[in-house]
Structure 1
C-alpha cells in the first residue's frame, strides 16, 4: 500500500507535490532563504549605521576605544560585516542549497526527449 499521494494520483502520473517538483520547490525556497539572510545581514548593518548617523549624531562623534570617532569605527566595520555576509552565503549554499541542486540534477528526466524530425 503506497502513500496517500500515490494512491490518489491518476494512473501513470506523479502528483505535483511529490518527486522532482517537490525537490525543485525546496531548492527555490532554499535559494530565496539564502539570499534574504545574506542581504539582510549586510543591508541591515548599513541601515543601522545610516539611522545612527541621522538620528544620533552625538553618538557617532563620540570617541570609541582606540581614539577613533564611533561613526568612523562603525563605517570601517562595514567591510568585515559584508565579508561575513558573503561567508554566510557561501556556507548556506554548501550546507543547504548544493545538496538539493545535486539531488535535482541526478534525478532522471520524467519526460523523454523526442528526436528532432527531419
Structure 2
C-alpha cells in the first residue's frame, strides 16, 4: 500500500491555475519503457490514466479519514467503557454520568465525519472527477480530451 501523495500536489502557476495534464507528462525515454520480452508493461503516462489514478487515490484517502474519525471515536468510547468503568460512571458537569455524555456525543461526532467527508469530496475529489470526465475512455491509449 502506497502513501505517496506526490501526484495529488500538482504544480500551480502564478495565477493559481493548474497547468494542463499534457504539460505534466514526462518525456518518453527508452530507459522508462519496458524491454521486449520482460513481461512488464510500459508505464501509462496518458492524461486519462494519470487523472484516474489520482482520483482513485483521493477517494481511498477520503474513505479512510472519514472511517477513522467515526470508528476511532467509537473505539475510544468502548475502550474507556471496558478499561475505565470508574471514569465512565463519574458524574460529569450537569449531573449526567460521563459514559452517557460520551455516548450521546457519538451522534455529533458521526455528523462531523459526514461533514468532513462532504467537504473533502467537494474540495478535492469532485474537481478530479470532473477532470477525468473531460477525457473519453481511450480506445487506443491516446488520452486526448473529448471535443
Residues 6 and 15 in structure 1, CA contact (< 8 A), matched pair in contact too: no
Structure 2 residue aligned with 1:6, among 27, 49, 66? 27
For structure 2, the residue ranges without an aligned partner over 5 or more in a row are 1-22, 34-41, 141-147
Which protein has the larger Cα radius of gyration, Structure 1 or Structure 2? 1
Moved over 6 A (4+): none
Higher RCO (CA 8 Å, separation ≥ 6 residues): 1
Residues 31 and 97 in structure 1, CA contact (< 8 A), matched pair in contact too: yes
Aligned length: 108
Pair 83,59 (structure 1): closer, same or farther in 2 beyond 3 Å: same
Higher helix share: 1
Question: What is the CA-CA distance between 1:46 and the residue it aligns to?
Answer: 0.2
Q: Deviations over 1:42-88 (max 9, x none)?
A: 00000000000000000000000011000000000000000000000
Matched, 1:27 2:48: no
Residues 5 and 15 in structure 1, CA contact (< 8 A), matched pair in contact too: no
Query: TM-score scaled by structure 2?
Result: 0.67
Q: Distance in 1 between matches of 2:29 and 2:95?
A: 70
Aligned alpha-carbon RMSD (Å): 2.2
